[in-house]
Amino acid sequence: MIDLAAIQTARDHLRGQVQKTPFTFSRTLSDILGAQIWLKFENLQFTASFKERGALNRMLTLTPEERAKGVIAVSAGNHAQGVAYHAQRMGIPAVIVMPRFTPTVKVANTRRFGVEVVLAGDTFDDAKAHGEVLARERGLIMIHPYDDEAVIAGQGTIGLEMLEDQPDLDAVVIAIGGGGLISGIATAVKALKPGIEVIGVQTERFPSMYAAVSGQELASGHYTIAEGIAVKSPGTLTQEICRRLVDRIELVSEADIEHAIVVLLEIEKTVVEGAGAAGLAALLLEQQRGASRFAGKRVGLVLTGGNIDPLMLGELIERGMVRAGRLARIRVDLRDLPGALAHATKLIADAHANITEVHHQRAFTTLPVRNVEVDFVLQTRGPEHIEEVIDVLNRAGFAASNHDH
């Protein structure tokens, strides 16, 4: 079994080879959530994720013969990069199997370490089956992303660091995919501080550990923005540890995670991927529901990784601006006459909103002929400003409405 001693040994082995990442107090998030929020910046590891801790700890247990044979890993990305980077450092040949739809940024970053990358299967589980075949055929050592004692012990070093920097933590909120991270952290923190609360977070689309622990049958979806925790079946080892040490598991939606990514970007000026924002998503959701289980408590969150596709990040920022009322689409009905559009745009400008897009609609409308629908995309100060712009247009005789939804 994985115990505190195994995690402390892992800490000694990893010292100087992985970052001891900052664990800092977030004043703004604390004010928003009414609790003391501490953030563990694992997105600042060299491969931008906590996964290299467990991967390296496992590879350090290999015999010289095993090192010569080489290793294989199956991963949607972060575990792959952790194995690839440390295999390259240690001179160990490595093969990485990834699902075909892994974000291109993760595939490119893994190939950068000079390992063989094989894209196979549509899901993690399909890729895993292919990896097991390759491991047998080539005699490679499988470095499991979560269901392995040395990997779990490596991830548990995060728990040691968190309590070292903030011994008074009341709770930790940790994302769960296969369960390696929460198993390691829970083992470490519960051994050092038995009263601490350990809360897991999964996406509604991949609730595998939640279902296993609660004895429910819940189907998994096909896609989540948090692909790092999109695991259809949790580990055997990790499931047993979660049953014993995790106090509860929360489920969050895609919208919750999107919102949390943008909040971290705006407030903390830090980039996290979907899985990395899951913990904050759960806290924001709880606050939204009016629950205050964390009121006044000291809560530690792990920002597990920062490997997000820049194009996706751009989309999320835009969608976040829409939710905040800083980007709005309003629809205005105009007479199709010279000067009508100019009059409307002047009114919008005088109301201090900035027009970024204009779409005319003549054919696909129920308005009478010689009338036109115009959609304006505006940069505004917030929801009240949007209403102000609409009022100005309506008072001037234009039929204007908010067309965000």
CATH number for the domain spanning 357: value is 3.30.70.260
* Same domain, residue pair 355 and 286: no
* Same domain, residue pair 42 and 155: yes
Q: 114 in a domain, yes or no?
A: yes
* Same domain, residue pair 175 and 293: yes
Over 70: is that where the pLDDT of 405 sits? no
Provide the pLDDT confidence category of residue 75 given band limits of 50, 70 and 90.
confident
**What pLDDT is stored for residue 149 in this prediction?**
97
Q: In what order do the strands lie in the sheet with 354-361?
A: 354-361, 371-379, 327-335, 399-402
Distance CA 310, CA 19 (A): 24
* Same domain, residue pair 178 and 261: yes
Distance CA 264, CA 326 (A): 17
Q: 210 in a domain, yes or no?
A: yes
Helix then strand count (H, E) for the chain reads: 16, 14
Q: 80 in a domain, yes or no?
A: yes
Domain count, the chain: 3
Q: 123 in a domain, yes or no?
A: yes
* Same domain, residue pair 212 and 300: yes
**What average pLDDT does the structure give for the chain?**
93
CA dihedral 83, 157, 242, 179 (to 10 degrees): -20
What is the secondary structure of 286-328 as a DSSP string?
Answer: HHHTT--TTTT-EEEEEE-B----HHHHHHHHHHHHHHTTSEE
* Same domain, residue pair 97 and 181: no
Over 80: is that where the pLDDT of 14 sits? yes
pLDDT tens digit string along 226-258?
988 988 888 999 999 999 999 999 999 999 999
Residue 140 DSSP label: P
Distance CA 309, CA 200 (A): 25
* Same domain, residue pair 340 and 314: no
Q: 62 in a domain, yes or no?
A: no
pLDDT tens digit string along 254-275?
999 999 999 999 999 999 999 9
CATH number of the domain bearing residue 107: 3.40.50.1100
Q: 102 in a domain, yes or no?
A: yes
Closest C-alpha to 184, from 230, 211, 150: 150
Task: Report whether 398 contacts 367 (CB < 8 A).
Answer: no
* Same domain, residue pair 169 and 246: yes
pLDDT tens digit string along 19-32?
999 999 999 999 99
* Same domain, residue pair 213 and 277: yes
Q: What number of other Cβ atoms are within 10 A of residue 308's Cβ?
A: 26
Sequence-distant (≥ 6) Cβ neighbours of residue 68 within 8 angstroms: none
Beta-ladder partners of 327: 379
* Same domain, residue pair 302 and 233: yes
- Of 139, 163, 189, the position where a domain reaches its end is 139
- Domain hosting 311: range is 4-49+148-318
User: Residue 274 has which token pair?
Assistant: 């979907």
Distance CA 61, CA 348 (A): 66
Task: Report whether 25 contacts 36 (CB < 8 A).
Answer: yes
Closest C-alpha to 379, from 344, 345, 346, 354: 354
* Count of positions (residues) in the chain: 405
* Same domain, residue pair 265 and 380: no
User: Residue 14 has which token pair?
Assistant: 């990893």
* Same domain, residue pair 268 and 161: yes
- Of 295, 318, 341, the position where a domain reaches its end is 318
Closest C-alpha to 2, from 211, 213, 148: 148
pLDDT tens digit string along 204-223?
999 999 999 999 989 888 88
- Of 297, 318, 339, the position where a domain reaches its end is 318
Rg of the chain's alpha carbons, rounded to an integer?
Answer: 25
Q: 64 in a domain, yes or no?
A: no
pLDDT tens digit string along 308-319?
988 899 999 999
Q: 118 in a domain, yes or no?
A: yes
pLDDT tens digit string along 29-62?
999 999 999 999 999 999 999 999 999 999 999 9
Distance CA 82, CA 47 (A): 6
